[in-house]
Structure 1
Amino acid sequence: MTAFLIAMALAGAAPMPVVNAPVGKMRGTTEGELRVFKGIPYAAPPVRDLRWRPPAPLPRWKGERAATAFGPACVQPQAPNATVYSGPPMPVSEDCLTLNVWAPANARHAPVMVWIHGGALRTGSSREPTYDGRKLAERGIIVVSINYRLGVLGWLAHPGLSAESARHVSGNYGLLDQIAALTWVRENIAAFGGLPRDVTIAGESAGGLSALYLMASPAAHGLFAKVIAESSYMISMPDLRKPVFGMPSWEAGGQALGTALQAPDIAALRAMDPQLLTDTASKLGFAPFGVVDGAVLPQQMVDAFDQGKQAAVPVLAGFNQGEIRSLRMLAPPTPADAAAYESTIRARYADLADPFLRLYPAATYKESILAATRDALYGWTAERLVRKQAALGKPAYLYLFDHGYPAMDQAALHAFHASELPFVFGTSASTPPQWPKIPDTPGERALSDAMADYWASFVRDGKPVARHAAPWPAYTTTRAYMHFGATPEARRDLLPGMFALNERVMCGRRATGTIGWNWNVGLAAPPMPPDVAGCE
């Protein structure tokens, strides 16, 4: 026994838990009945010469590694403006490929949830207090949260990088990190009491988008058994070598970025300071996306799901009523009046203008702009995902988070983007400083307990069940969903007509090959293309 452990024993403290996993021994901490391990590396640091390479596995380390503190966040743009999501500054590094584990002390063959953070593939970290896994792990599951490369360091494609690759592709490094983390979980989670074949991937926003990428990536199939996708978006994707859907080829875009950065080749890009590179690329407009490369992501997500090539697993998916209230940069500018709104919609949507205006009427055009943008990105995606999985015969569960509380509603942020997260994780007291304060009332605690129960039971059994709340029916032919208002309530037919309209818009744009279906909604939409056979 080491002097440190002897001192702890004499002091009456519980000894720190030690796990001997295939990757090596590590020492964590205890939190009540949980064992917690933080900052565990799952791949080699992708720094300098290893920048923009697939993650490399780590050999087994010697001795005992301390796993008692979160690792740094991956390098990301320095936030110039405070938003509802702003928190204290985080340490950042290129050496950031770490994960964290919350495991019940008595875990034996426990199901596992791997959490993928949001942040538009540009920002965020597994160390954010909102994502603390304690409350979910107390419900008998193991929670793992991961970091992955962000922004230009995680999603750049470039001819020079493709030339280096054995598969002659580039981009998707952040997605490859996620696959490496899932591989680490498969190989090591049994040492923590987890069941490697019973892993649920879960994420919100860009984390939900990542879950869809993983479902569409053959390289990830077999690494997870269930999916939770919160506020995900099945947007049009760039192609590695050809322009599609209004986007340039991703290699050409990367080459243009290098020129703007005065970095003529990959060696010059690797020589740049990572923070300066990240900040400058962001200011120049670099937006990270998964890229269709024929290898990691063989095809557009919508095509993979239409052809049944996605992972055939149960899903729980949904979105928030006020998604765009905190993301108004995604919505087009507000017109002068209702007449201007209606005339623009009629010009842009042609034969689809009437169904559009029934859903998003001119009489309430300011709210309609928010709702139309929400549905085109998040609502349509959630319902499309559950429909496609149900068609494969897999359990699929849909929700709408429509909950408000005084500080949120007074700030005109009712059910804003990501506002369900403190309720799912039971971390209402740990939200960022700018977040509307969640009151500590019996009603708020009961809703959080119910949502944590639903999520944890889905991870355990593939079916969301809460001890003291309404049964959650599967989507199936009844189009059932769970409405999270003051309390959970099972309902049917979410926003009738919403899915059909947005599916028709996406289908027509996809058929052109030149119009995307991501940020060009409502007043910002290009004119609808002529009717296309097969688009109904």
Structure 2
Amino acid sequence: MPSSAAIETADGRVQGRREGGVLRWRSIPYAAPPVANLRWRAPQSVTPWQNTLDATRFRNASCQPPWGAGLGVGKFQPLSEDCLTLNVVAPADSSERPRPVMVFVHGGGYLVGTSALELYNGIRLAEHGDIVFVSMNYRLGPLGYLDLSTFSTPERPIESNLGLRDQVAALQWVQRNIAAFGGDPDNVTIFGESAGGNAVTSLLVTPAARGLFHRAIAQSSPAHWAHDKDDSARWAESYIELLGATTSSARTALERATPKELGAAMMALYRRVADEIPGHFPLEPVIDGDYFPTWPVEAFRAGTAHRVPLIIGTNRRESSLFARIPDALPTRPSMIADMFRVTDPDVQDRVLAAYPGYPNRKAALAIGSDVTFFHPSVDVAQAHSAHAPTYMYRFDFATRLLNRAGLGATHAMELVPLFGAQDGVFGRATTLLGGRSALRSVSRNMQGNWLAFARTGEPLPSWPSYTIPERRTLLIDDPPRVVHDPHRPQRLAWEGYEGFYRRSASA
């Protein structure tokens, strides 16, 4: 158990500091900086350091548009390819036994985000749950999630799924080092939201991650996110063109381009793919037949996913947030029509009939939510429940202000009560018209379930497991309640729809 904020890790000594009832360490390297000849390469081992490393401040966020690493009004985290670091929070009080570990993966569409965001600090989870909290940075954008391995050569290799490999490397660091921080390496829960939720469902089917964690929580996971080598190769060629290079000069261009140039070409590719396949992102794990061997839902159905207890769920009105972000999700009738045209036109009439009032705005937004988050999460839940304990939720809580703003229980809203941030800036802002006590109640219940699950592999007794055909689901609200098969007509309408992610296989 740590008696001070000075800890000896396998790579060297790190100095954190006490903050109230917790000890905090920021920006500890878990892999070598992926710079120079390590750009486009799988994460490599850290070079041990001799002097004590100052871990009292955050260093760099992953390369991304600068606004993505905003930490406050006019405050932005520095960006660098030297970003493979993680943070640890542990209760300051000693414990006779190792504490459960919770490892958080931030979201942001694999394009933006940082573990330094104050919302993600994990302090209240560590204090209230007596756990050790870990959060990580990983490579984003083209440096982490654009598959450029078609331009690999024996002399200058490029590996696939670099961001996913980073997450595995961070979990390996946890296995080697977390005991020194008072954590139990045999009781690790991974959890993440949005792209971080997809990271969780992806890690569940990544062979290299086997044994590195023991429970998993996927919040608003677009669990179908993955694409095949054909799409990857086509997008890689487009990317090189947008970077101003040719196939013959691609490898040199990828080595010499600045992060800003790489990012500008990425945004241009992002727009091109959105026009081609509405709602589809070029930044996703790639089915490479090796590191990420098969389509995620197929692995869950076959029982080859890691058989650990799983919590999975979505928010009631996910896409109301994305209605304000052009082309992020298929939330307009024209986009929805194009989506079905390039995926599965045979189910279009059945799906549209399940959303009364379509093509009005409310129905279109609901379709965008369900095809991206709800349907994939149900696919995973019903498949995984045949092989391991599975618990499903829907986050329904919204304050009066959020409802009046037309957002409701929108995407990422559950992070406020989960991290106990109801008294922070966002929590106070969303309760200007009331609801602070209800938000606190939701926070107590949600944290209670997540922390119980991290300790034992089961949430609180009031939340039953998800089984077929009962499909018992926790609605997170004030008060919470358990219902059977919520959203049933829409679930049935989407049944069998494979989406963009199987276009090549089903063609």
Counterpart of 1:232 in structure 2: which amino acid?
S
The equivalent of 2:310 in structure 1 is: 315
C-alpha displacement of 1:365: 3.1
SS in 2 for 1:101: strand
Instruction: Work out which of the residue numbers 435, 454, 471 in structure 1 matches 2:462.
Output: 471
TM-score (norm 1): 0.82
Partner of 1:410: 404
Is 1:171 aligned to 2:160, yes or no?
yes
Amino acid at match of 1:331: P
TM-score, normalised to structure 2's length? 0.87
- Is 1:104–2:116 an aligned residue pair? no
Return the offset for 1:140. Answer: 1.1
Match of 1:527 in 2: none
Residue in 2 that maps onto 1:210: 199
Pairs within 5 Å for 1:124-523: 124-138=113-127, 139-159=129-149, 161-164=151-154, 170-235=159-224, 237-240=226-229, 243=230, 248=231, 250-263=232-245, 264-285=249-270, 287-328=282-323, 329=327, 330-334=329-333, 352=347, 355-362=350-357, 365-392=360-387, 394-430=388-424, 436=430, 441-465=436-460, 471-477=462-468, 478-506=470-498, 510=502, 513=505
In the TM superposition, what is the alpha-carbon distance from 1:219 to its structure 2 partner?
Answer: 0.8
Residue 486 (structure 1) shift: 2.5
Task: Decide whether the 8 Å contact of 2:42 with 2:159 is kept in 1.
Answer: no
2:331 and 2:367 in contact (8 A); partners too: no
1:144 aligned counterpart, secondary structure: strand
Unaligned runs of 5+ in 2: 274-281
**Cα pair 2:102 2:131 within 8 Å, conserved:** yes
Alpha-carbon distance in 1 for matches of 2:382, 2:497 = 17
CA displacement at 1:77 relative to structure 2: 2.0
Counterpart in the other structure of 1:11: none
Shift of 1:497: 3.2
Q: Distance in 1 between matches of 2:379 and 2:349?
A: 22
User: Which residue, 34, 45, 69 being the options, matches 1:57?
Assistant: 45
* Change beyond 3 A, Cα 1:435–1:120: farther
Work out whether residues 359 and 498 of structure 1, in 8 Å CA contact, stay in contact via their aligned partners in 2: yes
Task: Give the letter for the 1:91 counterpart.
Answer: P
Deviation at 1:117, TM superposition (A): 0.3
Q: Any conservation in 1 of the 2:84–2:166 contact (CA below 8 Å)? A: yes
Partner of 1:7: none
CA displacement, residues 121-152 of structure 1 (integer Å, 9 cap, x when unaligned): 00001001111101111111111000000001
Q: Contact between 1:41 and 1:97, CA under 8 Å: does it hold in 2?
A: yes
Q: 1:431 to 1:251 in 2, by over 3 A?
A: farther
Which structure is richer in relative contact order (CA contacts within 8 A, separation 6 or more)?
A: 1
Q: Is the Cα–Cα contact under 8 Å of residues 352 and 358 in structure 2 kept in the other structure?
A: no
Change (3 A) 1:164 1:194: farther
Q: Deviation string for 1:327-354 (max 9, x for gaps)?
A: 123134247xxxxx99x999x9877566
Distance 1:156 1:320, change over 3 A: same
Query: Is the CA contact 1:216–1:301 (under 8 Å) kept in the aligned structure 2?
Result: yes
User: Is the CA contact 2:473–2:482 (under 8 Å) kept in the aligned structure 1?
Assistant: yes
Query: Unaligned 5+ residue runs, structure 1?
Result: 1-14, 336-340, 516-536
Q: CA deviation at 1:236?
A: 5.3
Whether the 8 Å contact between 1:87 and 1:432 is mirrored in structure 2 is no
For 1:524, the equivalent position in structure 2 comes to none
C-alpha change, 1:269 and 1:317, in structure 2 (3 Å) is: same
**Worse-matched range after superposition: 121-130 or 443-452:** 443-452
Change (3 A) 1:440 1:505: closer
What is the identity, as a one-letter code, of the residue corresponding to 1:513? Answer: A
SS at match of 2:497: helix
RMSD: 3.1
- By how many angstroms is 1:297 displaced? 0.3
- Higher mean alpha-carbon deviation, 87-96 vs 181-190, is at 87-96
The 1:492–1:431 alpha-carbon spacing in structure 2 relative to 1, beyond 3 Å, is: farther
**Distance in 2 separating the partners of 1:363 and 1:86:** 39
* Per-residue deviation, 1:31: 2.4
Residue correspondences, number: 480
